[in-house]
Structure 1
């Protein structure tokens, strides 16, 4: 780093960590809440503002976005890709190792399936362990331990003396593989927002590359040296993985969380140095987003989300069941080509060597089928853009079911047709996995995204644990029965994907066709304030000021009459007409300039027009520093609460109607930790950074019968919006009891008795 960079970054180390400042929540509240509740709310917001982000500070996310994607991210991409290659290699090796052990040690088909199941069991059981270890000691330390365990026990597996030892050692390998997702989490922390989507595809390509690399090693080693040498050579990338881990950066979020600000700054300086850019000037502060509550597992099963979660679990479990089933059954199906099926019926014992030892041509075909993952990934990306995520997954699952049914006639197929069929099946199911990874995070709200994806991943591992007993055990009894099982599972998953919620605003060519046909509603377009709209918005203001023009004209004419009477008497009629025209033009020009100035002033204010989602780190910038004479409506909500959904719809409409007011929304627990759901929905109204009014809880929002006009009137009471509604539009309630009594009294007055 150059000397100027070093000098500019030196204040980071000299300044103390910011512990926040009080929010400007003064002013008088017009809410009907008791004073104690107001104090509690203001105090909670002050405490939640642990990190105020003024202009002279920056966060980790802001720094990474500023530094961009450079040399540092390229090296980190290669390391993360190596992690995924290692994971893929250890999974692919199972389809090659199990048949060899079956013949060398005479293990049963159930034991062969158990060799695969124990790896996935170790992965599932270790997930929580690695998460807790990473949160306590950092992701770099966890990945270092993972790399050492993985390399050591994978290498040790090649010297296993019997089945129990291989089972134990492969189980520990699976336990270590459970930490690999931590590398993706670490990777994402250093990625600018614009590059994250592309990097997901990149990681999938590394997965496919790892599978192909493992098959290539098997092609060279297995026919001559056997499975022990395959395990030894396959552990080389694991040792490389272990050697690279000391280069890894520690999570800056972890360093900030435990108070190691200096280390976090050093890491960011390293990124800046390798990317040849400079850090933002200022003090590094903690993203308040990471201090908030990010959801619990029971939230995934809430009344509003349980149906979606159950469907996603079915899709993920079925996809993993089918994907790993194809991986494992490939070597099994190569044993059952047309020329081998007749041999089975005559002498099953004599074909042990044939059934267990794959030939070089088998490995070449296995390599071709593994390469199917590359076109599967890229065709999925293309299909998603054309028809959307759900339809892509459904179509691929249906096509996979058709291909699998075709594979039930394996004994009647030639080797070329069998290889092509497996190629198609693997490419299709790999594409489903890709689409599921893209779709799932979009379904869950932000605060449930991490726990939702983790739950789906756990369900996928359950499917992977079950599939060996179909692909390696049941397949030997009935090829047709096994294929029907996979086809049925794929069709069930396809139905589940179609039942999942659909986004009608999804940008796909298929949705465009449906919109033209009127099958789905037109996509809501972002409201852009055009010049005509500005004029329309000004009409009300101009109408109120129409007297201005008349007053100016009268003043001009009075000026002419009273100040120039002597001169006018000397002018001819034509000269008087000309003078009057000149004065009218001058007055009109003056009025035109005033109106243009008013239009520009209002146009500067009318720059919002939508409800924008903000995080905790944006609070100070968007609310406290909103600007002079800017009204801010901050809406706190949580997904799954019907009244929150209703208020959100009304606010979206009001934001378009009153673009001069800044409408913001944020998840309640992100903005104010531990904010009770009983207080939702909540609206805070600010003017020039000061809180003016609070609307808290269902009672103040009048329940599910709240109309847009009522909400507009509520906001208009503080002049946050320039509404024409001056009286409460809430329907008046007629008291039938007192009305009847009153009518009865009127009758009594007319009664002579």
Structure 2
């Protein structure tokens, strides 16, 4: 396996960092923004949708968690099937369906339908969330991999500015205060348009991805030698101004021959292969590292995502108070039962 990686990395190192890597980082960075918007953005959308969907506070919390539930249910499946169908194929299809589900969810008129569509959005947004970093890594050699992945995840920070910026325009300004009646109970309000704005980076990324080829490493791994060579030529031409040299072509042929041996050892049974690939994680010597890494990621996710949702909910609850909040502690502002609350949750339950 080391020989394979060395051959592929040797060619990638000779090609060097260039236009292709910048383009891929931008495209996949926008997909990271999409993931944050479709999960954390519900901390802003759900409280604003309370009146239209007539939700209780428990239902608001459920809507906020719906996309996370979808990601948890589908992430392993997308991570595995990407090795069968291709990185770009999975990204294009999951982006398309997640964007469609996201738009449809913004026009739901009941809690149940809204929850179902947000859950489906989470299922498909898990694709770019987990596949993007794999796709990016297969355009890089080991020397630049850490740097490019770091730059891609910088877009998560941009998403943290994007969400509240649009929310301020749509939900906190009189300029965007409107109400347009549609068919039946459907009423167009600012929060519905805000939800559509959250998927804008994903839409841009979809069109950028159309100009990208499939991962060259994946193509070699599945035996698509001609297509793999064409992609490597394309990367070399874009980055260096000339195609692969004969020496580089020979290295890639050796890499392809090595991957063919591995390919012949793999099972044709999909479920059996999924189980056999996952089981080593639960045995020594990997089980300790696996449980430890899961615990670390769970803690990081709990702090990062949980705090973001909690802070948004507390801010919304504070803004719903109609009385004077001067000289009051945070706890009294949030939990005092004597205060008058605008559109309190029990009044909204039908």
1:71 CA drift (Å): 0.8
DSSP 3-state at the match of 1:333: helix
Match of 2:15 in 1: 67
Q: Which of 214, 218, 227 is the aligned partner of 1:263?
A: 227
**8 Å contact kept, 1:88–1:208:** no
**Secondary structure in structure 2 of the residue aligned to 1:221:** helix
Between the aligned partners of 2:280 and 2:334, the Cα distance in structure 1 is 56
User: For 1:510-551, what per-residue CA distance to the aligned partner results, in whole angstroms no more than 9, with x for missing partners?
Assistant: xxxxxxxxxxxxxxxxxxxxxxxxxxxxxxxxxxxxxxxxxx
1:225-624 alignment, distance < 5 Å: 225=177, 226-276=190-240, 277-281=242-246, 282-283=249-250, 284-285=252-253, 286=255, 288=258, 291=262, 296-334=277-315, 335-336=317-318, 338=328, 341=332, 345=336, 347=338, 350-353=340-343
Q: 1:305 to 1:234 in 2, by over 3 A?
A: closer
Q: Distance in 2 between matches of 1:267 and 1:304?
A: 37
Following TM superposition, by how much is the alpha carbon of 1:150 offset from its aligned partner in structure 2, in angstroms? 1.8
Q: Secondary structure at the match of 1:279?
A: coil
Change over 3 Å in CA distance of 1:139–1:346 after alignment to 2: closer
Secondary structure of 1:248's match?
Answer: coil
Give the superposition deviation at 1:132. Answer: 4.1
* Structure having greater relative contact order (Cα 8 Å, sep ≥ 6): 2
Kept in 2, the 8 Å contact 1:60–1:252? The answer is no
Looking at secondary structure, tell me which structure has more helix per residue.
2
Gaps of at least 5 residues in structure 1 are: 1-47, 356-753
Give the corresponding residue for 2:167.
Answer: 218
C-alpha distance in structure 2 between counterparts of 1:306 and 1:183, whole Å: 26
* Residue 92 of structure 1, aligned match among 13, 26, 40: 40
For 2:62, the equivalent position in structure 1 comes to 114
Seen in structure 2, the aligned counterparts of structure 1 residues 346 and 297 have a Cα distance that, compared at 3 Å, is closer
**Paired position in structure 1 for 2:180:** none
Deviations 1:21-79 (A, max 9, x none): xxxxxxxxxxxxxxxxxxxxxxxxxxx9xxx99xxxx9433221110100111111111
For residues 555-590 of structure 1, what are the alpha-carbon distances to aligned partners after superposition, in whole Å with 9 as ceiling and x for unaligned? xxxxxxxxxxxxxxxxxxxxxxxxxxxxxxxxxxxx
Return the alpha-carbon distance in structure 2 between the equivalents of residues 194 and 303 of structure 1. Answer: 30
8 Å Cα contact 2:52-2:109 kept in structure 1 = no
Deviation at 1:265, TM superposition (A): 1.0
5+ residue gaps, structure 2 = 178-189, 267-275, 319-324, 346-350
Q: Within the alignment, does 1:182 sit opposite 2:131 as a pair?
A: yes
Mapped contact 2:314–2:334 kept (Cα < 8 A): no
- Check the 8 A contact 1:63/1:280 in 2, yes or no: no
SS, match of residue 234 in structure 2: helix
- Partner Cα distance (1:328, 1:106) in 2: 20
Pairwise CA RMSD of aligned residues? 2.9
Q: Report the alpha carbon displacement of residue 215 of structure 1 after superposing the two structures with TM.
A: 1.1
C-alpha separation in 2, matches of 1:59 and 1:342: 63
Q: 1:397-444 CA deviation, whole Å, 9 max, x = no partner? A: xxxxxxxxxxxxxxxxxxxxxxxxxxxxxxxxxxxxxxxxxxxxxxxx
- 3-state DSSP of counterpart to 2:283: coil
1:352 is paired with a residue of what secondary structure?
Answer: coil
Partner SS state of residue 341, structure 2 = helix
Quick one: distance in 1 between partners of 2:28 and 2:334? 46
Question: Does the residue aligned with 1:247 lie in a helix, a strand or coil?
Answer: coil
Max radius of gyration: which structure?
1
Check 1:270–1:113 CA distance in 2 against 1; reply closer, same or farther (3 A cut): same
